Amino acid sequence: MNGFTTIIMQDIKLAIRTGGSTITLLTFYISIGVIMPIAIGPDKQLLAFLAPAIVWIAALLSTLLGLERLFVADHEDGTLLVLTHADISMPAIALAKLIAHWLITALPLILATPVLAVMLFMDWPTFVAIILALLLGSPALIALGGVGAAIAVTLKRGGVIAPILIMPLAVPILIFGISATSSLAGPGASNAALLFLSAFSLLSVAFAPFAIALALRTAAE
Amino acid sequence: MTQTAPTKQPNWFSRLAHPGVYLNWSAYLVVPLIIATIITFGIGLWFAFFNSPADYQMGETVRIMYIHVPNAWLSQMVYAVMAVSAIGSLVWRHPLADVSMKAAAPLGAAFTAIALFTGALWGRPTWGTFWEWDGRMTSTLILFLMYVGLVALWSTFNDQSKGARTIAVFTLVGAINIPIIKFSVDWWNTLHQPSIISTEGLSMPASIATPLLIMMLAFTLLFFTLHMVAMRSEILRRRANNLERRHIAQKMDVTS
């Protein structure tokens, strides 16, 4: 087992043994699905129409919420400093952390989406489309959020600022994600938006580790 | 066999970019820049108000364009200035690049805010609405949010030189993202008129293009003037902070 997989496994183990954070995140995600119908009203057709937007907003907010602690704990207990002297490069460490974080947070959210689908009266094609779009779009969310989390590491009061910084950058994910959902489920299905979403994910996953590594190295100095 | 490498003389650019040297030579430029800005504004405003025709469709409201378009142009140009400074800050760790990046952020936010505000004022009589979720307005609004985020980010750092590198990373991530955001928002909804100044040349009569170009030059000069003054005061502020810190440190040495 090399350093890369060790970091992934360690983060997953930590998440399982300390528990809590994933459950909190899932509760938050589902809560948005509960709050929305209460605010909008129990109109079945309206909710079904708004369902993709609600699910995407819930996913965006939950991901941003979960990212806050991505690197902060490692920075506080000195793990980050040790990792800067590790045998593998900093971008590789950042990528490993991102993969682990996707497995801990984004994947459970996607697995919990059926609950939202039932509460929002989603039809079957929309449900399939949104799962597909979430699977392809969430890596970009995590990667961009990772940049925000790495920037927030050095700040003493950085908790609120990371989501503010990341939200504008997440606009393309939201646009392509929702557009992919409606165009896949609707008549005259087209996968153009889905392809753009995948392209954005690939691009952000390719670039984000380097940006994160730069920010983390500054933090460890 | 110890052969020392010849010490590299700094080239003219890095000599000029030393913060202290910058303070010296920029002092001579501030007043001429202010004068040039005022003169260009005078000519531009005179053209805009008295020597350009009212549009046959939009009437007198077309004059809002002479404020709106230059600010919209600056909203993007200032980010380019910040992105170039961010590269300078990351690659050469140059303190002047940090200062330039920091000085540009609030200016960019202000120009973008003016572009949005005049756009709303212009939209009301011509489109019948203050706000429309059209592609270009939305991406300008998102740009504004990014500027505000950057200004807020600067204020959270106690150590400005350490903060500069982190902020440079984010500025560049934003610079890569801006074209993607623009594209995605255009895909999402488009209403706006196409770009006025395109590769095919101007798509408007010279009587309107002349004041517009002069006003764009005037606002660009305004930006460079304000940017230079802001950079100078930022350098002086850092010096004052250092002096203060050194003073406190000396005091503590004496007492201990």
Model ipTM value: 0.84
B10 found inside a domain: no
- Token look-up 């496994």 returns A9
Cα angle for residues A32, A37, A43 (degrees, 5° grid): 155
Instruction: Outline where B51-159 has alpha helix (H).
Output: 65-91, 95-127, 135-156
Residue of A nearest to B175 (CA): A169
CA-closest candidate to residue A171, choices A140, A135, A210, A203? A140
pTM for this entry: 0.85
Instruction: Give the separation between CA B50 and CA B175, rounded to whole angstroms.
Output: 39
Asked if B59 and B232 count as a contact pair (C-beta separation under 8 A), the reply is: no
Residue A112 domain boundaries: 3-220
Instruction: Give the separation between CA A118 and CA A37, rounded to whole angstroms.
Output: 12
Instruction: Give the separation between CA B62 and CA B196, rounded to whole angstroms.
Output: 14
Asked if B130 and B118 count as a contact pair (C-beta separation under 8 A), the reply is: no
B15 found inside a domain: no
What separation in angstroms does the CA of A135 have from each of A5, A103, A214, B21?
Answer: 21, 11, 27, 54
B200 found inside a domain: no
Chain B contacts to A (CB-CB under 8 A)? 90, 142-143, 145-146, 148-150, 152-153, 156-158, 162-163, 165-167, 169-170, 172-174, 176-177, 180-181, 183-185, 187-188
B189: closest CA of chain A, how far (Å): 10
Q: What is the DSSP letter of A41?
A: -
Asked if A11 and A100 count as a contact pair (C-beta separation under 8 A), the reply is: yes
Cβ-defined contact of B142 to A196 (cutoff 8 Å): no
B188: closest CA of chain A, how far (Å): 7
Tally the domains of chain B.
1
Residue-wise pLDDT for A123-152, tens only, equals 888 898 899 999 999 999 999 999 988 888
Give the whole-number percent of chain B exceeding pLDDT 90: 34
Question: Is a pLDDT exceeding 50 seen at residue B191?
Answer: no
Instruction: Give the separation between CA A179 and CA A192, rounded to whole angstroms.
Output: 9
Asked if B207 and B60 count as a contact pair (C-beta separation under 8 A), the reply is: no
Selected for mutation to probe chain A from B169, B171, B181, B189 (highest A CB count within 10 Å) is B169
B13 found inside a domain: no
Residue-wise pLDDT for A158-199, tens only, equals 567 888 888 899 999 998 888 888 777 766 667 788 888 999
Q: Residue B9: its pLDDT value, please?
A: 63
Q: How confident is the model at residue B4 (pLDDT cuts 50, 70, 90)?
A: low
Tally the domains of chain A.
1
Q: CA torsion angle for A190, A192, A194, A196 (degrees, to 10)?
A: -170
Cβ-defined contact of B187 to A175 (cutoff 8 Å): yes
B166: closest CA of chain A, how far (Å): 5
Instruction: Give the separation between CA B163 and CA B166, rounded to whole angstroms.
Output: 5
CA-closest candidate to residue A59, choices A29, A39, A35? A29
B165 found inside a domain: yes
Q: How confident is the model at residue A44 (pLDDT cuts 50, 70, 90)?
A: confident
Q: Residue A103: its pLDDT value, please?
A: 92
Residue B140 domain boundaries: 24-190+206-255
Chain A contacts to B (CB-CB under 8 A)? 144, 147, 150-151, 154-158, 161, 164-165, 167-169, 171-172, 175-176, 179, 193, 196, 200, 203, 207-208, 211, 214-215, 218-219, 221
CA-closest candidate to residue A32, choices A51, A5, A4? A51
Region for residue A188 given its phi and psi (left: phi exceeds 0; alpha: psi -120 to 50; beta: otherwise) = left
b/e per residue A14-51 (b: at least 16 CB within 10 A)? ebeeeeeebeebbeebbebbeebbeeeeeeeeebeebb
- Averaged pLDDT of chain B: 83
Average pLDDT of span A46-63: 90
Cβ-defined contact of B142 to A168 (cutoff 8 Å): yes
Residue of B nearest to A215 (CA): B166
Q: What is the DSSP letter of A20?
A: S
Question: Is a pLDDT exceeding 80 seen at residue B192?
Answer: no
Asked if A163 and B175 count as a contact pair (C-beta separation under 8 A), the reply is: no
Which of helix, strand or coil describes residue A174?
A: helix
Which residue type is seen at B103?
A
Asked if B102 and B160 count as a contact pair (C-beta separation under 8 A), the reply is: yes
Asked if B212 and B218 count as a contact pair (C-beta separation under 8 A), the reply is: no
What separation in angstroms does the CA of B204 have from each of A51, B207, B209, B233?
Answer: 45, 8, 6, 41
Average pLDDT of span B25-32: 89
B182 found inside a domain: yes
Residue-wise pLDDT for B148-189, tens only, equals 999 988 888 877 777 888 899 999 999 988 888 888 887 776
Question: Is a pLDDT exceeding 50 seen at residue B199?
Answer: no
B19 found inside a domain: no
